[in-house]
């Protein structure tokens, strides 16, 4: 990245939005103004990300979409700014009114992995108002309405309400998380909470499938840091289509138009707090979900088991986490639809992404993965993580990937839409380094590689190359 770009970015981030030293009425970190019953806080996130990719999508475009002239080697730069303001006002009778507003300005310079670039948008991120009534230190009720973030449980089904990339830019950063409209009512009594919600995702105009969903979540938070809960949701309306495997897997899948409409999902999540061991602390977690839709004769399932350990008595605090996740695919031998719909999952590498490179192609449907993450912290400000994922298909001759969850195509062609004849899809490696300059500024760099499995090689009828890449980004967060 050119020095001038970084200097201009810093000038915008630090100058235009007022991150200055000791303004008269504001504290410097964080930027808070307090007067009587009113508290106002200025907010700012900003980032710049340089990305390089080689042999994108294992060069499957050379087999499935030669006419597209897709270039599998790319370098691009992403930017985003997210200024905002939040406020709260104390009312009589132990009530508080509050609200938040923020914008996202994002841009991609040069052409990204999906063959789009030199484009960006400014969109509303959050813009909600709410009111809270507290009864005592352990009990309260809360209601809010407007665009805002909402993540339920560990983020298996409901987490990412906003879409980035494509015409909005900032594909890798994905700075948009808020739902376009969220009505949220929550009650808390002691360690228990119940949340009812209505959500309208912030979809891109080019792929707006008119999704709306509603449901509830019940959760218990233990005093030791563990938690457990259940989530139910119903898709009130949707134009999203599902792929249906061809009979016996022979041929291209058919398209079930509007198949998400009426979907029901029931999920559970649980995680222990830190469990003391002779060498440090351990944790265990489990997630699962069932989905059904009588209109299209659908039943699908997915889940995750996870176990981790941190050697807290040792320097560098080494930790090791093992994850097994699996999501059903459509069985070509049945007329029923068994394809798991991943809905709005948290796609970060430490959460629900399946693999590193592979997560750009395989959504959480008809895949299973064994994943290992090893982390060390050489200093308080530095962290190094190595991730490995072995990724397989659950159902042969069944759609593995059908676009990027909201699109039926990707640059490079509709690869492996009809499925594979061998379960092994890929092996992903991801090495990540993170440095915190202070509590507000972070530098992250990573190298990753995806080795194609036999299933992909057979689909392309050739030995595919390794898909590799790297990135370095700087993020500030006030």
Tens digits of per-residue pLDDT, 243-256?
Answer: 999 999 988 889 99
| Residue 227, pLDDT score | 98
Residue range 12-40: mean pLDDT, rounded = 53
Q: Return the closest-CA partner of residue 399 out of 326, 460, 463, 340.
A: 340
| Residue 25, pLDDT score | 38
Residue range 123-127: mean pLDDT, rounded = 98
- Which one has a higher pLDDT value, 46 or 410? 46
| Residue 65, pLDDT score | 74
pLDDT exceeds cutoff 80 at 327: yes
| Residue 269, pLDDT score | 98
Mean pLDDT is lowest, of 58-72, 228-242, 271-285, 403-417, for: 403-417
Q: What is the pLDDT of residues 143-198, one digit of tens each?
A: 999 999 999 999 999 999 999 999 999 999 999 999 999 999 999 999 999 999 99
Mean pLDDT is lowest, of 30-44, 353-367, 434-448, for: 30-44
pLDDT exceeds cutoff 90 at 49: yes
Write down the pTM of the prediction.
Answer: 0.89
Handedness of CA 294, 264, 124, 79 (dihedral sign): negative
| Residue 413, pLDDT score | 37
| Residue 441, pLDDT score | 95
Cα distance between residue 339 and residue 263, in whole Å:
12
pLDDT exceeds cutoff 70 at 12: no
pLDDT range class, residue 15, cuts 50, 70, 90: very low
> Are the CB atoms for 262 and 280 separated by under 8 Å?
no
Average pLDDT, the chain: 90
Cα distance between residue 335 and residue 246, in whole Å:
10
* Omega before 30 within 30 of 0, i.e. cis: yes
Q: Return the closest-CA partner of residue 288 out of 307, 269, 312.
A: 269
| Residue 252, pLDDT score | 84
| Residue 67, pLDDT score | 67
Cα distance between residue 375 and residue 378, in whole Å:
10
pLDDT exceeds cutoff 50 at 410: no
pLDDT exceeds cutoff 60 at 9: no
pLDDT exceeds cutoff 80 at 51: yes
> Are the CB atoms for 322 and 316 separated by under 8 Å?
no
| Residue 417, pLDDT score | 72
**The pair of three-digit structure tokens given for residue 246, joined into one six-digit string:** 């061809």
Segment holding 244, helix H or strand E:
strand 242-244
The rounded percent of the chain whose pLDDT value lies above 70 is 90
pLDDT exceeds cutoff 80 at 22: no
- 38-477 is classed CATH 2.60.40.1220: no
Q: Return the closest-CA partner of residue 142 out of 129, 158, 126.
A: 129
Q: What is the pLDDT of residues 188-238, one digit of tens each?
A: 999 999 999 999 999 999 889 999 999 999 999 999 999 999 999 999 999
Residue range 110-120: mean pLDDT, rounded = 94
> Are the CB atoms for 330 and 244 separated by under 8 Å?
yes
pLDDT range class, residue 23, cuts 50, 70, 90: very low
| List of residues 6+ apart from 325 with CB closer than 8 A | 302, 303, 304, 305, 352, 354, 364, 368, 369, 371
| Residue 418, pLDDT score | 81
Four-CA torsion 449, 451, 457, 459, nearest 10 degrees: -60
| Residue 29, pLDDT score | 52
Cα distance between residue 392 and residue 210, in whole Å:
32
pLDDT exceeds cutoff 60 at 460: yes
pLDDT range class, residue 470, cuts 50, 70, 90: very high
| Residue 33, pLDDT score | 87
| Residue 137, pLDDT score | 85
């Amino acid at each position: 990245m050119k020095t001038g770009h970084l200097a201009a970015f810093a000038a915008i981030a630090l100058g235009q939005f007022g991150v200055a030293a000791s303004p008269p009425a504001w504290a410097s970190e964080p930027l808070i103004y307090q007067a009587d019953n009113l508290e106002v806080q200025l907010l700012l996130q900003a980032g710049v990300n340089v990305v390089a990719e080689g042999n994108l999508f294992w060069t499957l475009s050379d087999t499935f979409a030669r006419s597209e002239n897709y270039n599998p080697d790319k370098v691009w730069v992403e930017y985003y700014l997210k200024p905002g303001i939040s406020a709260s006002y104390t009312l009589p009778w132990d009530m508080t009114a509050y609200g938040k507003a923020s914008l996202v300005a994002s841009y991609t310079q040069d052409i990204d992995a999906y063959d789009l670039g030199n484009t960006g948008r400014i969109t509303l991120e959050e813009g909600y108002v709410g009111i809270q009534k507290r009864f005592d230190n352990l009990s309260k009720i809360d209601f809010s309405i407007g665009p805002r973030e909402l993540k339920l449980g560990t983020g298996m089904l409901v987490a990412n309400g906003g879409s980035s990339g494509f015409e909005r830019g900032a594909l890798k950063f994905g700075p948009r998380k808020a739902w376009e409209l969220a009505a949220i009512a929550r009650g808390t009594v002691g360690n228990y909470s119940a949340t009812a919600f209505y959500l309208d995702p912030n979809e891109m105009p080019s792929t707006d499938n008119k999704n709306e969903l509603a449901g509830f979540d019940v959760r218990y938070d233990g005093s030791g840091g563990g938690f457990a809960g259940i989530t139910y949701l119903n898709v009130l309306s949707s134009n999203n289509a599902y792929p249906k495997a061809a009979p016996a897997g022979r041929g291209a899948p058919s398209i079930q138009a509007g198949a998400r409409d009426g979907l029901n999902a029931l999920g559970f999540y649980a995680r222990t707090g830190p469990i003391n061991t002779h060498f440090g602390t351990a944790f265990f977690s489990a997630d699962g979900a069932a989905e059904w839709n009588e209109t299209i004769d659908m039943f699908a399932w997915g889940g995750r088991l996870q176990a981790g350990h941190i050697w807290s008595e040792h320097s560098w605090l080494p930790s090791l986490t093992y994850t097994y996740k699996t999501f059903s695919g459509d069985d070509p031998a049945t007329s029923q639809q068994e394809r798991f719909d991943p809905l709005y999952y948290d796609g970060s590498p430490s959460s629900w992404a399946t693999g590193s490179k592979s997560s750009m192609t395989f959504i959480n449907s008809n895949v299973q993965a064994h994943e290992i993450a090893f982390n060390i912290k050489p200093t308080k400000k530095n962290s190094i993580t190595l991730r490995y994922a072995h990724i397989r298909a659950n159902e042969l001759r069944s759609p593995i990937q059908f676009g990027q969850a909201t699109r039926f195509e990707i640059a490079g062609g509709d690869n492996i839409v009809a499925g594979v004849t061998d379960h092994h899809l890929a092996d992903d490696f991801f090495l990540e380094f993170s440095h915190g300059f202070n509590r507000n500024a972070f530098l992250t760099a990573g190298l990753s590689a995806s080795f194609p499995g036999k299933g992909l090689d057979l689909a392309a009828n050739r030995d595919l190359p390794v898909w590799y890449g790297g990135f370095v980004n700087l993020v500030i967060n006030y």
